[in-house]
Amino acid sequence: DTAVSQTPKYLVTQMGNDKSIKCEQNLGHDTMYWYKQDSKKFLKIMFSYNNKELIINETVPNRFSPKSPDKAHLNLHINSLELGDSAVYFCASSFSQGAGNTIYFGEGSWLTVV
C-alpha cells in the first residue's frame, strides 16, 4: 500500500509543452505539498495545501499551477515547459496540527525538458 503515490515517475518532454503530475495520498492527511529538487539535490517547497486551500505559494513562475480537487489529491500542472524546469518533483503529505508532524514523501517524478 503506497502512502503517497505520484505519476508519472519519469517524464521527458519538449520545451513549450504542457504537462501534469498527479499525486494521491491514502494516509488521511489534511495537508499536501509539492517540492522541487534541483540537480544539486537541494529541496525547496513550491506549494502547500491544507484542506484544499492554498497556504504556501513560494516564488514559483505562474506557469506552475497546483490543483487540489480534494484532501487526498494535489496535482501539479506546468505550462510552457522550459529547460530550467528539469528537476525531480516530490509530492508529500502530513497532518497540519502541531509542529513535528512527519511529512511523508512520494517516490518523485523525474522531469526532463529537452
Partner 1 sequence: AQSVTQLDSHVSVSEGTPVLLRCNYSSSYSPSLFWYVQHPNKGLQLLLKYTSAATLVKGINGFEAEFKKSETSFHLTKPSAHMSDAAEYFCVLSGAGSYQLTFGKGTKLSVIP
Shortest Å, Cβ 26 to partner 1: 15
Shortest Å, Cβ 102 to partner 1: 6
Helices (H) and strands (E) in the chain, counts: 0, 11
Which residues of this chain interact with partner 1, rule CB under 8 A?
4, 31, 33, 40-45, 48, 50, 55-56, 90, 94-96, 98-108, 110
Phi, psi (5° rounding) for residue 105?
A: -105, 150
Query: Please, which residue, 41 or 62, has the CB nearer to partner 1?
Result: 41
Query: Please, which residue, 64 or 90, has the CB nearer to partner 1?
Result: 90
Query: Please, which residue, 45 or 72, has the CB nearer to partner 1?
Result: 45
C-alpha distances out from residue 20 to 49, 79, 98, 101, Å = 17, 9, 31, 28
Shortest Å, Cβ 48 to partner 1: 5
Query: Please, which residue, 40 or 69, has the CB nearer to partner 1?
Result: 40
